[in-house]
Amino acid sequence: MKKLSIFLFAAFLIFLLPKEIKANNPGYMQGYFYSNLTPYGTWISLDFGVYAWRPTIISRTWSPYRMGRWIWTDYGWYWDSYEPFGYIVYHYGRWHYDDYYGWIWIPDYEWAPAWVEWRYDDDYIGWAPLPPYAVFRVSVGIVYTYSYFIPVAHWHFVSFKHFCNPYVYNYYIPERSKYRVYSNTKYRNEYSYSGGRIRNEGVEFDFVRKRSGDNIRKRDLVITDDPRSFENSRKRDRDQITVFVADRERIIQDRESIRNADIVRNDRKTSLDLSRVELGDIRSRDEQIKNQERENITNREVRRDREISREVIQERNEEGRDSEQRNNNQTRDERRNVIIQEQKRSESRDNEINRERERIQINNDRSNQREQNRRNDSWINSNNDHRSSRNIEERRIEQNNNQRNDNREIRNQQRNENSRNERNREDVNQDRRQNTDQRQRSR
């Protein structure tokens, strides 16, 4: 009986052990995104081949980039999340608030210290998750595939003195004050590419340090692509932080592991405009659709050519040479016309695709031009302020010079007056002495 109890207990441990390892060790399961996020949320099918992840939210006030802290590193402002899934969803992909699903995360393959947009003034600094319509380009940074503004409710604002606080989530301004602070702040979005990594400059480091009054130290990021190594070194020390940066090719290869996950599928349409999104699987899916369309056109043409050949052979066998020749000529003309029409339709579709690409490029150019104009206006205003201060300083110097000249003239007048008075006194004294001498002589 004792041996049987030991055997049953050992079998029970063996049954539980794999589940515990799968939940706690990201490297156990295949797939960087899909398998490692499944314990903390649900995967949703938005469209054919397009998936999004929805976290299991237990708080009504939850939102992305809320629970964590900001750290200054060689790659700019890094969001160090306190959530177990944060090392993926805050450094890859974008966030979208869906009318039906709530907050959902769209995967992408590019790593960054944080995918956020910034706003600030002299008192407050704020950030909000970038939407899926925001795309990073090496030459210009962040561009939007169409005009989009992040809702005010999605922003987190704090005073500068609490910005780098490890418990920054305790100092967010209340919802009722967001609109006032938002309207007083200005937009900031500085992303660049250096050393093979994307940098999130955000608000300038010197400005943040000056306004906060804190001695903000730069931390070193230790990058690893090994999930086991990352899991074993996630303890935050004073000088360095280990971050997980997965290899892009391995992420793409492991994308097929989504088939092994539980996918929620329903007829509810998302409020996300997938035609405007150029991220990860969605971008790959669009390319696959275009390639599939071209392949379908080519296959139709091949099948049509084969049908034409079979029909021509059959007609030659049924009719005489003369009628066969006439029919063949007529059939070839008809088939040639059909092929020409199909080619024209194919060219028309290609032209539509090219026009759509040109339209997207024009929108990107306009967005870049607006951003350049905004920077030029900021530079002009700065120069005008400098000129104004210089003119004020020149007027102040001129007033001081005039005051000194007036004082000098007053002092000269006083000296002249004193000199005249002195001479008058001497004359009076001289007259007195002469009178005294005359009186003495007369005696």
pLDDT in tens, 189-208: 889 998 888 999 999 999 99
The CA-based angle 356-93-102, given to 5 degrees, is 95
Asked if 131 and 94 count as a contact pair (C-beta separation under 8 A), the reply is yes
Residue 108: the pLDDT is 87
One domain, residues 63 and 163: yes
- Assess if residue 207 is contained within a domain: yes
Q: Indicate the number of domains in the chain.
A: 2
One domain, residues 121 and 214: yes
One domain, residues 138 and 65: yes
CA atoms within 13 A on the CB side of 59: 6
One domain, residues 106 and 255: yes
- Assess if residue 375 is contained within a domain: yes
One domain, residues 234 and 297: no
Residue 395: the pLDDT is 82
What letter represents residue 311's amino acid?
Answer: E
- Assess if residue 394 is contained within a domain: no
- Assess if residue 303 is contained within a domain: yes
Distances (CA, A) of 72 to 9, 192, 203, 214: 50, 15, 11, 13
| pTM tops 0.85, yes or no | no
What's the token pair of residue 387? 């000129």
Q: Kindly write down the DSSP assignment for every residue of 374-394, as one continuous string.
A: HHHHHHHHHHHHHHHHHHHHH
- Assess if residue 13 is contained within a domain: no
The CA-based angle 339-345-348, given to 5 degrees, is 140
One domain, residues 51 and 159: yes
Query: Residue ranges of the chain with pLDDT lower than 50?
Result: 1-30, 284-289, 291
The residue segments making up the domain with residue 171 are 21-270
**Spatial CB neighbours of 67, under 8 Å, sequence gap ≥ 6:** 81, 82, 83, 86, 169
CA pair distance 188, 201, nearest whole angstrom: 9
One domain, residues 241 and 337: no
From 379, 406, 427, give the residue that closes a domain. 379
The CA-based angle 218-121-182, given to 5 degrees, is 115
CA pair distance 403, 142, nearest whole angstrom: 56
- pLDDT tens digit string along 159-181? 999 999 999 999 999 999 999 99
240-244 vs 220-224, strand pairing mode: parallel
- pLDDT tens digit string along 396-421? 888 888 888 888 888 888 888 888 88
- Assess if residue 427 is contained within a domain: no
Give 350: exposed, middle or buried? Use CB within 10 Å, 0-12, 13-18, 19+. Answer: middle
From 214, 243, 270, give the residue that closes a domain. 270
One domain, residues 202 and 106: yes
Total number of residues shown for the chain: 443
Count of CB atoms within 10 A of residue 173's CB? 16
One domain, residues 302 and 186: no
Mean pLDDT for the chain overall: 79
One domain, residues 265 and 302: no
Asked if 142 and 191 count as a contact pair (C-beta separation under 8 A), the reply is yes
From 361, 379, 397, give the residue that closes a domain. 379
The percent of residues in the chain predicted with pLDDT above 90, rounded, is: 29
Residue 235: the pLDDT is 57
Residue 16: the pLDDT is 34
Give 118: exposed, middle or buried? Use CB within 10 Å, 0-12, 13-18, 19+. Answer: buried
Count of CB atoms within 10 A of residue 242's CB? 19
DSSP 218: B
Asked if 91 and 75 count as a contact pair (C-beta separation under 8 A), the reply is no
- Assess if residue 276 is contained within a domain: no
- Assess if residue 5 is contained within a domain: no
One domain, residues 266 and 294: no
**Spatial CB neighbours of 361, under 8 Å, sequence gap ≥ 6:** none
